[in-house]
């Protein structure tokens, strides 16, 4: 095993106490006993999703050698936004309900192995997204994905994990088609009818049984998926051009005829009839297994994700 860099002497852990069942089993002592001697650890609980003022955000602006996000995709997203433009790597301890970024990068669930990746793994650049003035690392969506998340029972999600998304799938019954005007980069705007639009970097496309085509985590481009047919069809037939319209680019501007719920990395973020997304090329450095590349994922309609 490679000896830990002598420059890693101070580590911050951002911990979400409400992020999934697994997170409740982690404590500062669990991490401290796995660290090399002489490494200082600062433990800080993140506020609930949607809290405007993040008191712990100022602490992350201090000079840490490594920040660890102990939670799910929402915790990772919050840390990514605060580390944007800073030369501080982010390690992920996947202990939330949704750990899609960690899984896409090949980070194991077990705490000792995940911490080993953070300490001794490669430092990989990761593209970030900027959606309506806020940061995301995996996906920003307008419509169907956010509707499912909004109808998912939070207490049930914390208790039983991913299976709780079944409670949110009832949102599919009331979905209505809309017309979306989409402009990618400097191209001509196109009008497409569908049930939602998702702009993704890696794996969290949960509407059809298909991976993001060609998505990688540091190519400076995002995939755009327009659900042109009802998303429930994705659980029956593989998605092709009849069900999903695929686009790709660095800047995506989306307008709809009516307001839809928005989501970023699994968190519902209000509603709007507009979604503006810009790629921030290699905006974050993440800790990944040595010689790892992002895994291609297949997904099942709004519910579960599994690596190929």
Burial of 168 (0-12, 13-18, 19+ CB in 10 A): buried
- Whether the per-residue pLDDT at 293 is higher than 70: the answer is no
Q: What residue ranges of the chain are covered by domains with CATH 3.40.50.10330?
A: 10-126+283-293
Q: What residue ranges of the chain are covered by domains with CATH 2.60.200.40?
A: 134-281
Q: What is the pLDDT of residue 164?
A: 47
Give 10-126+283-293's CATH code, choosing from 3.90.960.10, 3.40.50.1100, 3.40.50.10330, 1.10.1060.10: 3.40.50.10330
Pairwise CA distance, residues 171 & 261, whole Å: 12
243 — pLDDT class (breaks 50, 70, 90): confident
Average pLDDT of every residue of the chain: 75
Q: What is the pLDDT of residue 214?
A: 64
Which two three-digit tokens encode residue 197? 């639009």
Which residue from 44, 28, 50, 37 is spatially nearest to 8, judged by alpha carbons? Answer: 37
303 — pLDDT class (breaks 50, 70, 90): very low
Query: Does the domain at residues 134-281 carry the CATH identifier 2.60.200.40?
Result: yes
pLDDT, tens digit (0-9, with 9 covering 90-100), for 109-149: 899 999 999 999 999 999 999 999 888 888 898 887 766 76
pLDDT, tens digit (0-9, with 9 covering 90-100), for 142-195: 887 766 765 554 554 555 455 445 544 555 555 678 899 999 999 999 999 988
- Whether the per-residue pLDDT at 14 is higher than 70: the answer is yes
Strand-pair partners of 307: 297
Pairwise CA distance, residues 282 & 200, whole Å: 15
Whether the Cβ atoms of residue 75 and residue 46 lie closer than 8 Å to each other: yes
Helix (H, G, I), strand (E, B) or coil at 230: coil
Which residue from 193, 182, 234 is spatially nearest to 211, judged by alpha carbons? Answer: 234
Whether the Cβ atoms of residue 90 and residue 284 lie closer than 8 Å to each other: yes
Contacts of residue 167, defined as CB under 8 A and 6 or more positions apart, other chains included, come to: 151, 152, 153, 156
Q: What is the pLDDT of residue 286?
A: 94
């Amino acid at each position: 095993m490679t000896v830990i860099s002598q420059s890693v002497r101070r580590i911050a852990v951002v911990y979400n106490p409400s992020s999934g069942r697994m997170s409740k089993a982690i404590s500062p002592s669990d991490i401290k006993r796995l660290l090399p001697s002489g490494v200082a650890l600062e433990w800080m609980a993140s506020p609930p999703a949607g809290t405007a003022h993040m008191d712990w955000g100022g602490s992350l602006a201090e000079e840490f050698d490594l920040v660890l996000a102990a939670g799910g995709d929402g915790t990772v997203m919050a840390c990514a936004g605060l580390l944007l433009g800073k030369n501080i790597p982010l390690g992920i301890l996947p202990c939330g309900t949704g750990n899609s970024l960690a899984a896409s990068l090949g980070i194991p669930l077990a705490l000792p192995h995940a911490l080993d990746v953070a300490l001794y793994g490669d430092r990989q650049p990761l593209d970030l997204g900027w959606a309506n003035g806020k940061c995301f690392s995996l996906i920003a969506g307008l419509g169907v994905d956010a509707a499912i998340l909004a109808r998912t029972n939070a207490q049930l999600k914390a208790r039983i994990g991913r299976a709780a998304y079944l409670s949110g799938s009832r949102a599919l019954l009331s979905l209505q088609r809309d017309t979306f005007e989409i402009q990618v980069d400097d191209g001509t705007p196109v009008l497409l009818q569908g049930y939602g639009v998702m702009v993704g970097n890696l794996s969290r496309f949960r509407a059809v049984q298909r991976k993001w085509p060609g998505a990688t985590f540091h190519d400076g481009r995002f995939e755009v998926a327009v659900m042109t047919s009802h998303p429930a069809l994705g659980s029956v037939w593989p998605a092709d051009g009849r069900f999903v319209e695929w686009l790709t680019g660095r800047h995506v501007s989306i307008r709809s005829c009516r307001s839809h719920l928005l989501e970023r990395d699994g968190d519902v973020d209000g509603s709007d009839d507009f979604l503006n997304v810009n790629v921030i090329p290699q905006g974050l450095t993440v800790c990944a297994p040595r010689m790892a590349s992002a895994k291609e994922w297949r997904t099942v309609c709004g519910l579960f994700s599994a690596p190929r």
